[in-house]
């Protein structure tokens, strides 16, 4: 048993305390401002570069008028370098003062699995379970019969 058990309800409270402290501490406030700026740039970038490419690139640094983007592979980097002038122009239209976009490959990022949105699941009620158990004997052996058997097994109360 861990000395410091994880409490999900306390996680957001802890985060807000940390953010509050960062915003009031003079030296830490600049870190918080930089993090907020990077997050805002990332959000804008993902709106400009939709789909898998937008999900693959990360804003790693904004320094002076240069933005450094991190990508997981050379293929992503090549495509992003082609898009750099357009991205720079569109970012400037959104209020960012950029003159250059640099692309860095971070292969270690390729190993992390992409974040998938949680599945939307509607639980199967007792009427649904009853309907599947009634129809199961009439289904010929095969993938559908196997799927119904797995479904009934998952919803077996015993």
Listed residue (85, 38, 77) closest to 56, CA to CA: 77
Extract the tokens encoding 100.
């250059």
Q: What pLDDT is stored for residue 128 in this prediction?
A: 86
CA–CA distance, 68 with 43 (Å, rounded to integer)? 15
pLDDT of residue 6: 45
In this predicted structure, what is the pLDDT of residue 109? 60
Instruction: Please report the pLDDT score of residue 28 as a whole number.
Output: 72
Q: Where are the beta strands (DSSP E) in 25-99?
A: 58-63, 66-71
pLDDT tens digit sequence for 136-151: 999 899 999 999 899 8
| pLDDT of res. 4 | 45
Point out the residues of the chain with pLDDT beneath 50.
1-8
Domain 12-111 has CATH 3.30.300.180: yes
Q: Which residue intervals of the chain bear CATH 3.30.300.180?
A: 12-111
What pLDDT does residue 44 have?
92
CA distance 41 to 12: 23
Q: In the prediction, which pLDDT does 86 show? A: 93
**Measured distance between the N- and C-terminal CA atoms of the chain, rounded to whole angstroms:** 30
pLDDT of the residue at 100 = 93
Q: What is the DSSP letter of 63?
A: E
What b/e readout covers 95-132, taking b as 16+ CB neighbours within 10 angstroms? ebebeebebebeeeeeeeeeeeeeeeeeeeeeeebeeb
Q: Six-digit token pair at 137? A: 């004997």
List C-alpha distances in Å: 6 to 13, 16, 18, 131: 13, 16, 17, 41
């Amino acid at each position: 048993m861990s000395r410091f058990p994880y409490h999900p309800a306390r996680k957001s409270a802890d985060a807000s305390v940390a953010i509050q402290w960062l915003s009031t501490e003079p030296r830490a406030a600049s870190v918080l401002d930089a993090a907020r700026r990077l997050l805002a740039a990332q959000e804008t970038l993902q709106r400009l570069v939709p789909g898998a490419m937008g999900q693959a690139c990360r804003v790693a640094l904004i320094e002076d008028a240069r933005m450094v983007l991190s990508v997981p592979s050379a293929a992503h980097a090549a495509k992003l370098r082609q898009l750099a002038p357009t991205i720079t122009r569109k970012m400037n239209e959104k209020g960012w003062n950029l003159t250059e976009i640099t692309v860095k490959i971070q292969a270690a990022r390729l190993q992390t699995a992409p974040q998938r949105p949680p599945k939307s699941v509607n639980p199967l009620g007792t009427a649904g379970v009853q309907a599947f158990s009634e129809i199961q004997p009439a289904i010929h052996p095969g993938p559908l019969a196997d799927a119904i058997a797995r479904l009934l097994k998952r919803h077996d109360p015993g």
